[in-house]
Amino acid sequence: MKKKFYTSLIFIPVLILLSGCRDKFLEVEPVASYLEENYYQTEEQAFNALIAAYDPLQWTMYGGFWVSHVMYGEIRSDNANAGGDPTNADQPGWQELDDFTNSTLTNESYWIWNRCYAGIYRANLVLNNVEIESATVNRYKAEAKFLRAYYHFDAFRHYGPSVVLDKVLLPTEYNQARSTMSENFELMVADLEAAIPLLPLTVSESFAGRITKGAAQALLGKIYLYWADLDNDNVATFDKAAAALGEVVNEGQYQLLDDFNELFAFGNSNSAESIFEIQHSNISPSNWGWPNNWIDGNVFAQLCGVRSLCAEHPDYNAGWGFMLPTQSLYNHFLTDDTYRRNAAILSEAEIVWDIEAASPGGCGGNYIGMADQNMEDFTGYWQEKYPIYKAYSNPNGGDLVLNLDANVFVIRYADVLLMLAEALHRGSGADGEAETYIDMVRERAAGPGDNTGNFRTVAQLMNDEGWTLLEAIWYERRAELAGEGDRWFDLVRSGRAHAGLFNGDPVREPNFAPEDEWIPIAQREIDVTNQALTAYPGPELFK
């Protein structure tokens, strides 16, 4: 079959001169071995297409811009400030997202959307085109359905009710409007429920990061939790969340690591606590250039490292100083919860202690280049869950900062236990069972070893602090998941995102408006649909 290939603009004058030639002048025999219509014919080809659908998960630098649900979930919230350079000129889009001054022209709004829908498109290529039947291919399709559900969920968390796509669009079908909230959640639920029976309980180490049954059940539970919250605290939907999350617990595939610090230790990826973890690699010799979405490393870790850190720090290299923890987050941790705080937040005093312990008098007292800090956002703290370990390497060359193989948690077992406790409490009600799951997380938070009798149970916590059970759950989620990207999404789904969170911040508090629960879809995406898309979701879509 012959194909038409369209030439670039540079050849337009030549084509004008030759416009009298016959059409077949532009028709050439395809050079490639495979075209779309003769691909997807074997299990190997189906697997290659599936891997392509996984690929957008690891895009932390896409189109030349930083893309990270972790950064967004922290910087947008009261957990972190944007940080960066002293002038706010570095990464202006993230400064806008931090200050609620973003618009449809903010580049990050475009690239976050683009990553989500690139993933949806690639998942749909697998689901729409692979027609061979086998148990292996059925598993591939189950993984693709999980990915399609996850990318839709990620789009929803950022933009609100978004465009539901279960097929590859033709150019004539680009005029897509937002779908309703129910349509969004219904597709996610249907995909995950279809996928769960076909997914394995475990995967081999060589395939770490591939989707398992537990990952699909956990994501299903999380989606039901969001749906219930946004649907006027729907008790029946909370019960569905509890059922899905309870299956993860009952299957016994996961456990809390004994030492909270081990979750983020160098090289400790895909542990017994990991349920859904985005994989990063240092194998590809990545360098700066265009495009950037082929980078397999986690550039987000470099972005959020300590800016102008002295080279004599024994463990960490310097980073670029974004996602700086706020005083509000530091103060959130109770006095008996310092173990988790120290794992999440690195203080200036700790940096000095680390350097002096390793090299007394090191750095000549200039431990951190304070002149290089963004003092509008600087609080004296840096995140410590994704440090830039000196032990990172790039064995095949390339720029080290682009090749950090630091994986990123999306869902881990502690998150499941806290979501299950919340669903039980807010559903038909099983507070005793909910407290059991919370206490599992609290016992581990007290430090390594058996802490029986050495930590306050959630019942004691409620009594001592005068909290309700739901307030205790909110405390635990913020403390346990600090620096991991869930904070803003938790605030929005539960109706707790408001200006008062920012405690008199002269920029963020006056700038916050109700529509800022979501970020706007980029103007160029709106234009592609001939204005069918709206920047923000209207209230009529939340049904």
Burial of 356 per CB tally in 10 Å (0-12, 13-18, 19+) = middle
What confidence category does residue 8 fall into, taking pLDDT thresholds of 50, 70 and 90? Answer: very low
Taking the C-alpha atoms of residue 274 and residue 344, their distance in angstroms, rounded to an integer, is: 17
Q: Which of 363, 385, 407 is a domain's end point?
A: 385
Residue 250 lies in a domain: no
| Side chain identity at residue 236, one-letter code | A
Over residues 421-468, the pLDDT tens digits come to 999 999 998 999 999 999 999 999 999 999 999 999 999 999 999 999
Rounded to the nearest 10 degrees, what angle do helices 235-250 and 213-230 cross at? 160
| Side chain identity at residue 480, one-letter code | E
Residue 25 lies in a domain: yes
Taking the C-alpha atoms of residue 464 and residue 144, their distance in angstroms, rounded to an integer, is: 47
Residues facing 457 on adjacent strands: none
Distance of CA 2 to the CA centre of its chain: 43
**3-class SS string, 331-382:** HHCCCCCHHHHHHHEEEHHHHHHHHHHHCCCHHHHCCECHHHCCCCCCCCEE
Residue 11 has pLDDT above 50, yes or no: no
pLDDT of 28: 52
What confidence category does residue 29 fall into, taking pLDDT thresholds of 50, 70 and 90? Answer: low
Taking the C-alpha atoms of residue 410 and residue 317, their distance in angstroms, rounded to an integer, is: 25
Are 391 and 266 in contact, with CB atoms under 8 Å apart? yes
* pLDDT, mean of residues 334-346: 97
pLDDT of 65: 86
Taking the C-alpha atoms of residue 299 and residue 184, their distance in angstroms, rounded to an integer, is: 30
Q: Which of 369, 385, 401 is a domain's end point?
A: 385
Q: Structure tokens of 116? A: 């989500």
* pLDDT, mean of residues 105-111: 96
The SS3 call for residue 347 is strand
Residue 332 lies in a domain: yes
Q: Structure tokens of 249? A: 């617990």
Instruction: Show the domain range for 372.
Output: 305-385
Q: Which of 343, 360, 385 is a domain's end point?
A: 385
Question: How many other C-beta atoms are found inside a 10 Å radius of the C-beta of residue 292?
Answer: 19
Residue 416 has pLDDT above 80, yes or no: yes
* pLDDT, mean of residues 163-175: 96
Of 50, 36, 59, the closest CA to residue 195 belongs to 50
Taking the C-alpha atoms of residue 526 and residue 532, their distance in angstroms, rounded to an integer, is: 7
Residue 397 lies in a domain: no
Are 386 and 297 in contact, with CB atoms under 8 Å apart? no
Are 372 and 321 in contact, with CB atoms under 8 Å apart? yes
Sign of CA dihedral 483, 485, 488, 492: negative
pLDDT of 467: 98
Residue 317 lies in a domain: yes
Question: How many other C-beta atoms are found inside a 10 Å radius of the C-beta of residue 390?
Answer: 13
What confidence category does residue 18 fall into, taking pLDDT thresholds of 50, 70 and 90? Answer: very low
Residue 343 lies in a domain: yes
* Ordered DSSP codes for 139-180: HHHHHHHHHHHHHHHHHHHHHSS----SSPPPGGG--PPPPP
The SS3 call for residue 531 is coil
pLDDT of 5: 24
Are 431 and 438 in contact, with CB atoms under 8 Å apart? no
pLDDT of 66: 87
Helices (H), 375-468: 413-426, 431-445, 458-465
Q: What are phi and psi of 521, to 5 degrees?
A: -65, 140
The SS3 call for residue 278 is strand
pLDDT of 10: 30
**Would residue 283 be called left, alpha or beta, if left means φ above 0 and alpha means ψ between -120 and 50 degrees?**
alpha
Residues facing 316 on adjacent strands: 389
What confidence category does residue 289 fall into, taking pLDDT thresholds of 50, 70 and 90? Answer: confident
Of 300, 299, 317, the closest CA to residue 308 belongs to 317
Residue 247 lies in a domain: no
What confidence category does residue 21 fall into, taking pLDDT thresholds of 50, 70 and 90? Answer: very low
Over residues 194-245, the pLDDT tens digits come to 999 999 999 999 999 999 999 999 999 999 999 999 999 999 999 999 999 9
Of 368, 376, 392, 393, the closest CA to residue 98 belongs to 376
Structural domain count of the chain: 2
Placement of tokens 């997807």 in the chain: 40
Of 48, 13, 128, 78, the closest CA to residue 490 belongs to 78
* pTM of the predicted protein model: 0.93
Residue 291 lies in a domain: no
